[in-house]
C-alpha cells in the first residue's frame, strides 16, 4: 500500500497487493489481526541528527540532492564557493566525476565532499520541516554537526574540514581503521600484543573501532577471524585517532587560529567528551582533540537515550552508524529507530523524494510500534517492504538495461555489415 501518511493521529500500514491488500483491509474492518497488517498511534518525535565520519562515501552521492532538493542545492553551491576558496578545486566537479577521474579515495577530497553532502542533507530535512532535538557527530562528522548546530559558520567549518583533509593526506596509506564487534574492554586486551594498534572509537557497547599500521591490522583481523569475532576494515585513508596523527596536531591548531566558535542553536553532544557541549568550546584546540582522541560515540548516544531520545536520523549518504545506534538502544533497554537519509544501494538508492517529503510533513512521526531496536537495524515491516520494492524495481531496471544493450548491439552489428 503506497499511500503516504497523513497528519492524523493513527497509522494503518498494510503490506501487500491485490487480494492480500483487500484481505488486510477487511481484517482491519473486523477488528482482527492479519498478515502484513500494522496499526499504531502516530507519535510526532523530533529526531537526533547524526553525522558519521568516513565510510559512507560512494561515487555519485549528492547528485540526487542537487537535482531534487532546492534547499540542498543551495547549500552545495555555497559549499562549492567556500571549498574552492580554501583548496582551489571544484566540489561539484568532484561530486559529478566519472569513476576513472574520481578522487574520492583521497583524504583531502573525501572529507570536504562528505561534509558538503551531510550539510546538504540536513538542509533538505530542514526544508521538509524536520527540526532536530539534538545533534551529534562522529569523528570528521563533528565538523558538519558543529555547523548545523550553529557553533561554526560555513566559512569556518569548511576551513576546519579542508585543513583536516590536507594534513591527514600526509599520512595516507600508512595506516587504517578496523571495526571489531566486541566491547572496548575485550578489544583492549586483544590488541595488547599488536604494537601500534590503538582504540580509535567506542561505537557501541558491542562495537569498537581500532586504528594503526595496516600490516598490524591485517594480522589482528586474521586473529579475530580465527577466534570467530566479526571484524571489518573501514574505508579510510589513514589511521585516525591514534599516534600517527600526533605530528599533525600543532599545525592543525595553528592553521585554525581565528576560528570563531559560537553558542549552538540546537543542543550539540560532543563525541570528544561524550556529553553536551557549549558551542563556544569548539575552537582550534578542540579540533586537534577531535582528530586524536578516541571517539566517545557510545557515551554520547547513551546519554541521549537516557535523556529520552529514541529516534535517530543519520544525515549522510549511507547509514554507517545505524548498527551502533541500534546496539546502544538495545543496551539501554529502549525501543527506538535509526533512520537512513540515503543509501549507496538497495531501495532508495541515490534518492531524495517522496519518502523524505512524507517524513517532513508528518514531523518525523514514525509509529513507535513499527520496529524494535535490533542488532540488524530498522524494523521488520520496513525491511520487508523495501525487499518487495527492490524485487520489482530492480527487475524492471535490469530488464530495461538488458534491452538497451541488445538494441545497441544490434545497431553495431548492422553498421558493421554496412546496412
Three-state SS across 172-216? CCCEEEEEECCCHHHHHHHHHHCCCCEEEEEEECCEEEEEEEHHH
Alpha-carbon span 14 to 33, nearest angstrom: 11
> What are the φ/ψ torsions at residue 278 (nearest 5 degrees)?
-75, 130
Task: Say how many Å lie between the first and final Cα of the chain, rounded.
Answer: 49
Pairing of strands 48-51, 311-314: parallel
- Domain 48-368: give its CATH architecture: 3-Layer(aba) Sandwich (3.40)
CA angle 159, 236, 118 (to 5 degrees): 50
pLDDT for position 232 = 92
pLDDT for position 35 = 61
pLDDT for position 11 = 61
Give start and end residues of each alpha helix (H) in 240-372: 249-255, 284-292, 297-306, 322-331, 354-361
DSSP three-state, residue 95:
helix
Q: What residue ranges do the domains of the chain occupy?
A: 1-42, 48-368, 379-419
Q: What is the chain's pLDDT, residue by residue, as a tens digit (419 residues)? A: 434 444 455 566 766 667 777 777 777 777 666 666 666 555 557 999 999 998 899 999 999 999 999 999 999 999 999 999 999 999 999 999 999 999 999 999 999 999 999 999 999 999 999 999 999 999 999 999 999 999 999 999 999 999 999 999 999 988 999 999 999 999 999 999 999 899 999 999 999 999 999 999 999 999 999 999 999 988 788 999 999 999 999 999 999 999 999 999 999 999 999 999 999 999 999 999 999 999 999 999 999 999 999 999 999 999 999 999 999 999 999 999 999 999 887 443 445 554 555 555 444 443 332 223 333 333 333 444 444 444 555 556 666 766 776 677 677 667 666 65
Pairing of strands 311-314, 37-41: unpaired
Alpha-carbon span 188 to 210, nearest angstrom: 9
Helix (H) or strand (E) holding 295: none
Most distant CA atoms of the chain, gap in Å: 74
Give start and end residues of each alpha helix (H) in 208-331: 214-226, 249-255, 284-292, 297-306, 322-331
Amino acid at each position: 500500500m503506497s499511500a503516504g501518511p497523513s497528519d492524523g493521529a493513527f497509522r494503518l500500514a498494510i503490506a501487500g497487493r491485490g487480494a492480500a491488500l483487500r484481505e488486510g483491509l477487511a481484517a482491519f474492518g473486523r477488528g482482527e489481526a492479519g498478515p502484513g497488517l500494522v496499526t499504531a498511534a502516530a507519535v510526532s518525535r523530533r529526531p537526533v541528527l547524526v553525522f558519521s565520519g568516513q565510510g559512507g562515501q560512494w561515487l555519485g552521492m549528492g547528485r540526487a540532492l542537487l537535482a531534487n532538493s532546492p534547499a540542498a542545492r543551495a547549500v552545495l553551491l555555497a559549499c562549492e564557493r567556500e571549498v574552492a576558496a580554501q583548496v582551489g578545486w571544484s566540489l561539484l566537479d568532484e561530486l559529478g566525476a566519472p569513476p576513472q577521474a574520481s578522487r574520492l579515495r583521497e583524504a583531502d577530497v573525501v572529507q570536504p565532499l562528505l561534509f558538503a553532502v551531510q550539510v546538504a542533507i540536513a538542509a533538505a530535512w530542514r526544508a521538509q520541516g524536520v527540526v532536530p532535538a539534538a545533534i551529534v557527530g562522529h569523528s570528521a562528522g563533528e565538523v558538519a554537526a558543529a555547523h548545523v548546530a550553529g557553533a561554526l559558520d560555513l566559512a569556518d567549518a569548511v576551513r576546519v574540514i579542508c585543513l583536516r583533509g590536507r594534513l591527514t593526506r600526509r599520512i595516507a596509506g600508512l595506516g587504517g581503521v578496523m571495526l571489531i564487534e566486541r566491547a572496548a574492554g575485550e578489544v583492549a586486551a586483544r590488541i595488547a600484543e599488536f604494537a601500534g594498534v590503538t582504540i580509535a572509537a567506542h561505537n557501541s557497547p558491542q562495537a569498537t573501532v581500532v586504528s594503526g599500521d595496516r600490516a598490524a591490522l591485517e594480522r589482528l583481523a586474521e586473529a579475530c577471524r580465527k577466534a570467530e569475532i566479526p571484524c571489518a576494515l573501514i574505508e579510510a585513508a589513514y589511521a585516525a585517532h591514534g599516534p600517527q596523527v600526533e605530528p599533525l596536531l600543532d599545525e592543525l591548531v595553528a592553521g585554525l587560529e581565528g576560528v570563531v566558535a559560537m553558542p549552538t542553536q540546537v543542543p550539540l553532544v560532543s563525541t570528544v567528551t561524550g556529553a553536551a557541549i557549549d558551542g563556544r568550546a569548539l575552537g582550534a584546540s578542540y579540533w586537534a582533540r577531535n582528530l586524536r582522541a578516541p571517539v566517545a560515540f557510545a557515551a554520547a548516544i547513551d546519554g541521549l537515550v537516557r535523556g529520552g531520545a529514541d529516534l535517530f536520523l543519520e544525515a549522510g549518504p549511507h547509514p554507517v552508524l545505524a548498527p551502533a545506534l541500534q546496539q546502544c538502544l538495545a543496551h539501554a533497554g529502549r525501543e527506538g529507530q535509526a533512520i537512513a537519509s540515503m543509501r549507496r544501494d538497495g531501495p532508495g538508492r541515490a534518492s531524495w523524494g517522496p519518502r523524505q517529503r512524507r517524513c517532513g510533513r508528518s514531523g518525523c512521526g514514525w509509529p513507535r510500534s513499527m520496529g524494535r531496536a535490533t542488532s540488524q537495524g530498522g524494523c521488520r515491516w520496513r525491511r520487508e517492504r523495501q525487499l518487495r520494492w527492490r524485487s520489482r524495481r530492480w527487475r524492471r531496471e535490469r530488464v530495461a538495461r538488458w534491452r538497451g544493450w541488445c538494441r545497441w548491439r544490434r545497431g553495431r552489428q548492422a553498421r558493421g555489415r554496412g546496412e
